[in-house]
Structure 1
Amino acid sequence: MADVNRGNRPLSPHLQIYRPQLTSITSILTRITGNALIVASILIVWWFLAAATGPDYFAVADGVLRSWFGKLVFFGSVWAVWYHFLAGIRHLIYDSGRGLDIETAEKLGWTCIIGSVLLTVITFVIL
């Protein structure tokens, strides 16, 4: 039997030498924005249910959504929608078999990040 010293080895050596890449970060960010949009959707549904329930309960929900916290959530949600949209287009490009080389994949990643910020600013300028 092999002499294996299990006590002195790290559990995940790849985590010590792995350097996050733009493509992995943007992929993880796509998942995070998708889940964050669920939270924003729940707040919107809560606001609608409060409106249907009565004026007192609606005042509470409306006060939360109009507070700095609500504005921050919705600002982040607008960015998340744009980012998730652009990342979806990026994945459609990947699914067609294009853009899979490292240089193009990084360009598409930066396009998602910069494009989502620009589209968010444009959205708030228009509104």
Structure 2
Amino acid sequence: MSDPREAGMIGRRTDGKIVRRPLSPHLQVYDMMQMTSATSIMHRITGCAWAGGTLLLIWWLMAAATGEVAFARVQWFMSSWLGLLILFGLTATAWYHTLAGIRHLAWDAGYGFDIPSVYRTGRMLVIGTVALTVLTWIFAVIFWG
């Protein structure tokens, strides 16, 4: 006797190929080139990166509270090429995660669910991240450089 739940386990990918669905979502069911999948996965990745950035902030604050030598070490690292690269990445992470969060708030309010809106806001999300990251660093160089 077959299990009636089996019918719900068969699906189609965006290219029409028939696939057997896993019991829970997994990377094999996502089309990575699809805007919705890419922005969703990036939102999760930037959330994790943001947590790592918080650890960097804690290191900086602890060094500032500890004394001049510890603070000088952190400042040296932050001003090295690797530190600046990490800070640039964290700036992009912060902007992406913030803009994606605003997009999710709009979805929570019931706006922007139609496919053209999802793709339009996805493109706006990527363009906004790049523009705001570059703008942030231009201001940083002008005012603190």
Q: Name the counterpart of 1:6.
A: none
Q: Unaligned 5+ residue runs, structure 1?
A: 3-11
CA RMSD of aligned residues (A): 1.9
For residues 25-64 of structure 1, give each alpha carbon's deviation from its aligned partner in whole angstroms, at most 9, with x where no partner exists: 1011111111111111211211121122122222222222
Q: 2:31 aligns with which of 19, 26, 38?
A: 19
Aligned mates of 1:77, 1:47 — CA distance in 2:
15
Q: 1:123 aligns with which of 136, 140, 145?
A: 136
Aligned mates of 2:56, 2:121 — CA distance in 1:
31
Q: Name the counterpart of 2:98.
A: 85
Secondary structure of the structure 2 residue equivalent to 1:107: helix
2:30–2:37 CA contact under 8 A, matched in 1: no
Instruction: Determine whether 1:75 maps to 2:88.
Output: yes
Q: Name the counterpart of 1:47.
A: 60
2:95–2:132 CA contact under 8 A, matched in 1: yes
Aligned mates of 2:80, 2:71 — CA distance in 1:
14
Read off the aligned partner of 1:102 and give its amino acid letter: I
Identity %: 44
Q: Name the counterpart of 1:102.
A: 115
Residue 102 of structure 1 deviates from its aligned partner by 1.2
Q: Which has the higher contact order (CA 8 A, sep 6+)?
A: 1
Q: Unaligned 5+ residue runs, structure 2?
A: 3-18, 22-27, 141-145
Change (3 A) 1:57 1:126: closer
Count of aligned pairs: 117
2:31–2:37 CA contact under 8 A, matched in 1: no
Residue 13 of structure 1 deviates from its aligned partner by 5.1
For residues 71-120 of structure 1, give each alpha carbon's deviation from its aligned partner in whole angstroms, at most 9, with x where no partner exists: 11111111111111111111111111121111110111111111110111
